[in-house]
Structure 1
Amino acid sequence: MQVFETIGAFRAARTAYPTLGFVPTMGFLHEGHLGLVRRAKAENGAVAVSIFVNPTQFGPNEDYASYPRDPERDLALLKEAGADLVFLPTPDVLYPPGAVTRIEVGGVAEELEGQSRPGHFSGVATVVSKLFNIVQPQRAYFGQKDAQQCAVVRRFVADLDIPVEIVVCDIAREADGLARSSRNVRLTTENRQKAPALFQALQQAARLFRNGERDVDVLENAMRAVLTEAGLPDIDYATVVNAGTFRREKPCSDDALALLAVRAGEVRLIDNMPL
């Protein structure tokens, strides 16, 4: 496994791999990330991973400074998972003095997270497009937990004719259903016990949907009730949308996706489930 901190050094090493999968991450890796790495390796023969906590996708009152970081641990896990190339840039490498260009995505980027976190998806689209230009992968792998982010990436890849296939993989979960996330390590013991309620709320919506319920308000209220009863009343959104547009529909379509964003103390948790 080779590790690079500069664009030039990475590009020079990249030429040795005719086919390359790519997993962009912000580090503090968990089994969800490692599953993406192993799948990318199996499907492409070689895999590159980036570790970069991207400042431009965090708002002024968000957790950029406190986001967990442990690059030595991450590199050991990536070596064991079979990574071939690791790109570990600093912010000044990806955003050198004078850099002012950003990508703005409309449509799917304007809903939900786009409203809750202004500028977030512009930061995501800008850094991911830069990484695609640097890494030049045939395929890039993302987790379904960040469902709206996946939709945004697919949108700008199509719009900008970037020659990369986007592969979205199933959510990796703990035994109690909590979606694996680097932020989970920041949960208090009490809130960690409450956090599986997100999965339980999604399951409740899915049960109602399977039994024929198509009223968005009924489905959303059912999810909110589960969360509130579990002691998680600080709900950013608990909604059901069209999986293609990320907009609410009444009645909801067969292509429905339930999504949650909930605060458990200082940690904002997200999860989703196709219905």
Structure 2
Amino acid sequence: MSSECGKLYVVATPIGNLADISFRAVEILKQVDLIAAEDTRHVKMLLQHYGISNKLISLHQHNEDKASAGLLEKLREGLSIALVSDAGTPLLSDPGMPLVKMVKDAGVDVVPVPGACALIAALSAAGLPVTQFVFEGFSPRTSSARKAFFSERLLCPITWVFYESSHRILASLKDMAEILPLDRQIVIARELTKLHETIVKTSLGEALKLVEDDANMRKGEFVVIVDGAAIDKKEQIITPEQEKILRVLLGECSIKTAVALAVEITGVRKKLLYQAALDMEKAKEA
């Protein structure tokens, strides 16, 4: 690709406190020819705060495929573009992936400009293990899908994290309480870096009660962090959903192949799945 092409900068913006933006990010936003934003009205407030008047263009989930092609052409013409989301680091549960993929595939430079991220901010203050963690994006919208989502993660041995909205946080915790033990440690982080920032580490049962009793705990944007399952619990049982997956695979594959695939899909230990597969085969023969 010609060196005359412009560059796409993936720029992290504040998640609440406007001071949480890097000097580099401000300079990049001032210098680029275009700023592609999820919500131009929202980003305009940030730009005005820092005296930035660059041209804004809309890039959201409903137009990003078509808009991405147009932005790639502008990069090929030599223009530089900054990609920003409403808050935090783009692509983490925000639009932008089609654009970044298209630009990378075209051989045009994509430059990260790191900064605020609600996920990392919450993990840093959670007090739960973070050497390994799984980020799940937003939880499903319906109760049945959420329960399946939580069932699949019941025995996950490492910390897992998801985003939740204010109008679903209570329902989400209620669904979780039907699947996970009420003594499982979780962290609820809301309104990070804002005036009413709250980070609570407690048991699932206590967290549910807190959110039920306090209307303020149902306001804002949420990061929910869940402690991994204890090793002994992970080794003793598999969930009904994991058992169903294994049973379906056994109907199509050998035990060895079915177990290997089930390990990849569920993350459950091979030894536990292999024993479950043997038990299923014995039950069929009986």
Using structure 2 for the length normalisation, give the TM-score.
Answer: 0.33
Larger radius of gyration: 2
